[in-house]
Amino acid sequence: MKISSKSVRVKLDRIDKSIIQHLQANGRMQNNDLAREIGLSPSSCLRRVKLLEEAGVIQNYTTVVDPQKIGLQLILFSRIWLVGQDAETIDTFIEAMKELPQVMECYIILGECDAMLKVVVPDLESYRKFQSTHLTKKNGITSVKTDLPSQIIKQSFQLPLDDL
């Protein structure tokens, strides 16, 4: 692994990619098993994983939970228009969204709207309350359009490394 001079882009070699692919598929994989799968000694494998973590390539280990199995029945996408494009408005919006556990993902968008949210709630009434409480002018929002997907076709947390 080579880190660029700006430490923004990390150059991954074949072994780094293999480590990441295996850990994306199974983040609970034991180091000995990972080392065996990619053909390294356990100490070399652990060193490589630590370097990927330190470089920020591997940011976190998490558990993916099925929201419907725990009562979060609705996934909604909210397109957001802000009251302005100034730094203060955008910063206010960003900080507010970071604090809301219902907001699973938040993106500032170049295009028709200013931002896009992925929101998870138990039901439509919960979303109505969430929207009227949090997606308001106090958080820099002027308009919200919400889309409700009818079916999830694909949801992945694994980045495609073959094209790198």
Q: What is the pLDDT of residues 27-55, one digit of tens each?
A: 999 999 999 999 999 999 999 999 999 99
Tell me how crowded residue 116 is: count the other CB atoms within 10 A of its CB: 16
Q: Residue 34 in contact with residue 26, Cβ under 8 Å?
A: no
Are 144 and 135 spatial neighbours (Cβ–Cβ below 8 Å)?
yes
Q: How far apart are CA 12 and CA 29, in angstroms?
A: 20
| Cα distance between the two ends of the chain | 13
What amino acid is encoded at 126 in this protein?
S
Number of helices (H), then strands (E), in the chain? 5, 6
- Among 22-26, 98-102, 155-159, the range scoring the smallest mean pLDDT is 155-159
71-106 in b/e form (b: 16+ CB < 10 A) is ebebbbebbbebeeeeeebbebbeebbeebebbeeb
Tell me how far apart the alpha carbons of residues 78 and 147 are, in angstroms, rounded to a whole number: 6
pLDDT (tens digit per residue) in 77-125? 999 999 999 999 999 999 999 999 999 999 999 999 999 999 999 999 9
